Amino acid sequence: MKKNNILISTGKYQGLYFAVACCEDVVISCSLGRENEKKALEDINAFVKKSKKNEFPYVKINSTDSQLVKNIGKLFYGKNTEFNSLEHDNENNFSFKVLLEVSKIPLGEVKTYKEIAEKMDSEAYRAVGNALNKNPLPLIIPCHRVIRTDLSLGGFRGGSEMKKELLKREGVRIKGNIVVRD
């Protein structure tokens, strides 16, 4: 996919600022909810920079940028929103396969890094974490729903507090820093 003409827009939803980066009819990156526009932009610029060098997945859109921001905002607040399925120029890319597995986790559920690796017949647990660390589409690809095998939260770009909040809003039960699974 060509990545000239990347358009970044920002928007406010429920008091927080979000940024999205689009290229023609696809989203290539989005930010988490941030307290001001500058932070949202900082968030996304880091991704955009990387995406020029490497191949990352993207998602087709058929709405305006402002609707897009709103949908991402909804996700941030734990409301389900449908997005088109993930695409990638190289379907065999390890990171893409990780992200694809992760995008299948429904709202309100969690999976462990190990479970994701096992689905791919791999024992590359660390590599799974690595791939998620570079997730260019947080929320859309719900990497916050991936936790450690001992059911502790594990890391998150936006910090583990934010990860906890996101999961709670999706109805996941958490005691201390341990997820309760039934």
Partner DNA sequence: AAGCTGGCCTACT
Partner DNA sequence: CAGTAGGCCAGCT
Q: Which residues are catalytic?
A: 143
25 or 89: CB nearest DNA: 89
Q: Are 126 and 154 in contact (CB under 8 A)?
A: no
DSSP secondary structure letters along 95-140: HHHHHHHHTTSPTT--EEHHHHHHHTT---HHHHHHHHHT-SSBTT
Q: With binding defined as CB under 7 A, does residue 121 bind DNA? A: no
The correct pick among 57, 135, 164, 166 for binding DNA (CB under 7 A) is 135
157 sits near DNA (criterion: CB under 7 A)? yes
Q: Which amino acid is located at 166 in the chain? A: L
Choice between 66 and 161, CB closer to DNA = 161
Site for DNA in 33-72 (CB under 7 A): 53-54
Residues in contact with DNA by CB under 7 A are 53-54, 93-95, 112-114, 122-135, 138, 143-144, 146, 148-150, 154-157
